Every structure is written in C-alpha cells, then in structure tokens.
Amino acid sequence: MADPHRAISAPLNTSGPTGERRKKSAQPLLTVGIVLLLMFLLTFAVYQCARHLTVELNTLRTQEIVDSSFAELELYLFRDEEIITASAGNVFCYDVRNGEKVPVDTPLGQAYTTMDGASVRSLQKQLNAYGDRIASLARVFGGTSPADAAAAAEKAESGYRGVLDAAASGSIGDLGERADGLLSALDTWRALTGSGEDRTMDADALRAAQAELVRGLIPAGGFSTARAGWFYYGSDGYESIFPYDQALTMSPAEFRQMVAAPAAEAGFGTAGHMVYTDEWYAAALMTVEDASVYRKGTSYRLLCDDGLGTVLTITVERVESDGQGALVVFSSQDMPEGFAFTRRLFGRIAVNRISGYRIPTGALVTQPSPVTGDDVTGVYVLEGNRVEFRRIMISVSREGYVIAHTSSEAAVMLSAMSEAQQQQINDEGWSFLQLNDRIITGGRNLYEGKTIG
C-alpha cells in the first residue's frame, strides 16, 4: 500500500507536457507588454520634446504697405459765374451743350413762353436732353472742336455706369438725366466712328422732336454771351449767395450764413449761367480737430460721390477757426467734361498716408535692454532654424496691427539721435527689422537664440 504522506510531499512535475505549454504561452504575453510599454515611453518622450521645440510655428514675411485714412467732405462751390437772361420766356431751346466752352458773342439758344406753368419743369427737361444731343452731333459734323472716338467711348461707358448707379440707388430723377447723357455720348461715338445708321438723320429727327415740343409756344427771342466761358443750362439760385470774390476773405460765421440761406427764385427769362474762369473754390465746415490736418498749399485727390469715379485735384487755400468750428477753403482748376458741378459736392480724400512694415499686434514682443534694463519693442524672426530678436520703431498703431518704420527710415532716425543714444542702441546688439524677414506670429515657448528642429 502506498504511503499517503510520501505522495503529498512529492514535487510537482513541471517538466511534463502541461507545464511546458504554460511556460511557452506566458513568454509572448510578456514580450508584447514590454513592447507596448516601450512604445508608450517613446511616444511620451517625443511629445515632450515636440512641446519644447515649439510646435505650430507660424511665420509671415515682412511686407511694406501704405495705410491711408480718409475724410468725408461736404463742399460748397464758389465759381466766377453770372446769370444769363433772355428778354422774356420761361422755357428754352439750347444751341450748345450743357457745360460747353463758348467764345464771345456765341448764340446760346431761343426762349419761349408757355402759360402752362405746371408743365414747365418736365418740358424744360425734355428740351435740355434734345439740346445737348443735337449740339453734340453738330460739334462732330461741324468740326468746331474735333472729338476723339476713344474719349467719346469712355464718356459713354461712364454714362452707362452712372445709369447703373442711379438705378441701384433708386434715384428715378437722376436716372433720367444719366440716361440722356448716355444717349448723347452714344450719338457722338457713332457719328465719329460711322457705326450704325446715318447720324445726320438722327439729328434731323431730334430737331423735329424738339420743334414739336415748342409748337404753339410764344417765341421770346434768342440769347447769347458777351464773354467767353462755359455755359450751363438753368440756374440753381445760389450764384449770388456764394460770391466768387468772397471765397478767400469770408469768415466762418459768414460762410455759415451762406450755407443756411435759401436759394433765390429764378426770375422770368433766366436761361442759364456762364462761368468765366476755370479756377474755382470749394469750402467746408468741420471741427477744429478735423481741420488741423490741413496745411495751406497741400494738394489732395478728391474722389467725388457722383457714381462715375470722378477724381479732382484740390489745394488748401485757407484754414480759419472760430468758437464754433473751422472753415477750410480749397481751390482747383479741374473741369472734366461732363462733370456735374452742383453747388454742394460730396467726396472723400486721403488726409494721411503712412507707409512702413505691417506687423500683427500678436507678433510684438519686448526684451529687456542689456544696457539699461528698459523694455525694447520688437519681434521674433526665424533666421534659418534659429529664433532671433529684431527691434522696431512703431510709426502708428491700428486695430489688430501696427505700422513700423522701415529699416531705411529707422537708420535715418538713428542718425538724428545723440551720440550717446546711438552708442546705447549699438551696444544692445539688436538689428532693426528688415524687408522679407520671417516674423514669427505664433508659437510656444519662444525665446531669443532658440533652435527650431
């Protein structure tokens, strides 16, 4: 009989088939665990290194820009003008174009009288359209002032843009005038180029339509000009309220009275007005602060709010202030053909133009001066794979960015400093920002001298 104690104390047999299988199955699991642990440690190490090497580094090449600030102007015009009257009449057929330059003793048109006062405005508007188109065609065929086909085409294109602008703004009255101007320009272009049908037939048709409009009206005789100049249809009633000879002498208070005055009623027989010189003045009221940017003799480009993109050159003649504001008077000799010289002119000018390096506000950094310890403003740039500091001189601050002086401007400013200031800047050892430097606009853990990669 076998001894039970002996059986219990006998060692387990691990060398058998079952023990060997258990040992072999445990070894692959241990290997996989070690590999996973090593991969985790390697990934974590790479992540930590990447963090310290500044990920998501954004750079921007230094670029020079021109930054402009604009002022909106409301101008009142002063022109060397005079009312032209006929002996009688309240409607007029014109023989010259609106705004045409005419010599001495030029017949300007015929006057008529109508008893239907309610229809005067609409009738005159139709007569003006016919008169302008007929005179434009007569100018081409008569050879009195040879026109250029390219200029006529450009005028037609401007007229077309004006029609679109008037339609978009919903200005029905202005739309009719723009359309008449466009038709006149197209007539001129076709006559010059020979395009389409014979334009002389159109002129005859226009004259017939014009004659039909005045049929039955009482003739009141012709009218002409005794002086050379530019003739304009009708009158706005402000010719005597804004006297040309007071533009350079009036006070701000006197100008305010002119602006507040109502237009004078056009008298019977008022056919139009002549402008005798090409120099005109434009005055504006503004705050003393706004007027402080203007200097006598400075010229500006005025972009007119006429829907055609007309640009006029105006020069500051006067700046005068009082307790209620300031008066600024400009002069000009620009008289582009077809431009509507209304009494009140709206436009805008660039009053301040600043050039330099545009730098996002977020890219600005400061470094303590190694000489004085004071903060020095600049930016980090990427030079190769190394972070370097470049100092800047800020010209102006805008929303979200600043404009810094260019390196050449900074050099000029540096040369104007005292020798002690120049020596201090040189001892600090920082170069000024240059064109095409790679400004660092975003990144983490940046510092001067850091190596990237």
Nearest Cα to Cα of residue 402 among 362, 350, 444, 347: 362
More confident residue, 8 or 18: 18
Distance CA(98)–CA(78), nearest Å, equals 19
Residue 180 — pLDDT band, cuts 50, 70, 90? Answer: low
- Range with top average pLDDT, 183-187, 208-212, 343-347: 343-347
Judged by phi (left if over 0) then psi (alpha if -120 to 50, else beta), residue 105 lies in left
Q: Which of 6-15, 291-300, 306-315 has the weakest average pLDDT?
A: 6-15
Residue 144 — pLDDT band, cuts 50, 70, 90? Answer: very low
Helices 407-415 and 419-428, packing angle to 10 deg: 140
Tokens of 388: 């370097």
pLDDT exceeds cutoff 90 at 270: yes
pTM (two decimals): 0.64
Q: How far apart are the first and last CA of the chain?
A: 81
Distance CA(305)–CA(292), nearest Å, equals 24
| pLDDT for position 339 | 85
Is 16 buried (19+), middle (13-18) or exposed (0-12) by CB count in 10 A?
exposed
Per the listing, tokens 């660039």 go with 350
Over the chain, what is the mean pLDDT?
83
Q: Are 403 and 353 in contact (CB under 8 A)?
A: no
Q: What is the pLDDT of residues 425-434, one digit of tens each?
A: 999 999 999 9
Distance CA(112)–CA(219), nearest Å, equals 4
pLDDT exceeds cutoff 90 at 423: yes
Q: What is the pLDDT of residues 40-60, one digit of tens each?
A: 777 666 555 555 544 468 999
